Amino acid sequence: MLNTMRFVKAADMAELLTGNPIQIDDERTLVAHACRHPEAFAPLYLRYFERVHAYCYRRLGNPDEAADVTSIVFSRALSSLHTFRGESFRSWLFAIAHNALTDHYRARRTEQSLDDALECHDGQRSPEEEAIAHEARRTVTSLLAELPAEQRQVMELRLAGLTSKEIGVVLGKHANAIDQAQHRAMIRLRGLVTGAGSTTGDWR
């Protein structure tokens, strides 16, 4: 299990010593440094934790499972930093997340329950805001579930903030193929939202 507090404290210490928040312009340099000094992984962890966790939660719909898989993702990333050779650390990290989720599905061997996506509550929200967020999660999850697998994966990674090129790295496809899949997904989603999904033909 990844020692989260160790990395957070390392980042806080760096900020205290310099008097300024950590600025990372060259992630390759930071990765190389973290290979020699694991504590230096902290800025990368802090930068991408929320995105990776949101991606896992969107795929799994269960906060506990999402937290477990997120921990696995960063543990794998830290232990395999020396293998990083790509142009984008983010796409490399999300490829690890994609594979970790695949392993999790294989181990669980059950269908994802959409109702699980409704179990996450934010204590800072009012009951009205929580109800709106509740319905939004249900709607997004239900709509994505209607997409073919490839289109759903593309949209989930796009929602996580990845570019077409980065998604291509994660899924092993060219950026043009990703753009085409997203275009088809958007057409299908618009059809579903307007109630015309059943009359728009074959979207695959």
**pLDDT (tens digit, 9 = 90+) per residue, 24-41?**
447 888 888 888 888 888
Q: What is the mean pLDDT of the chain?
A: 75
Inside any domain, residue 30: yes
Q: Which CATH number fits the domain that encloses residue 33?
A: 1.10.1740.10
Q: Work out the average pLDDT over 168-191.
A: 89
pLDDT at residue 95, as a whole number: 93
pLDDT at residue 75, as a whole number: 92
Inside any domain, residue 203: no
Residues 6+ apart with CB under 8 A from 60: 66, 69, 101, 104, 112, 116
User: How many domains is the chain partitioned into structurally?
Assistant: 1
Inside any domain, residue 56: yes
Query: Model's pTM, two decimal places?
Result: 0.60
Inside any domain, residue 91: yes
Is a pLDDT exceeding 70 seen at residue 163? Answer: yes
pLDDT by residue (tens digit) across 91-150?
A: 999 999 999 998 888 776 544 443 444 444 444 555 665 566 556 666 677 788 888 889
Is a pLDDT exceeding 90 seen at residue 194? Answer: no
End-to-end CA separation in angstroms for the chain: 39
Inside any domain, residue 86: yes
pLDDT at residue 20, as a whole number: 42
Domain range for 41? 1-112
Inside any domain, residue 36: yes
pLDDT at residue 192, as a whole number: 78
pLDDT at residue 129, as a whole number: 57
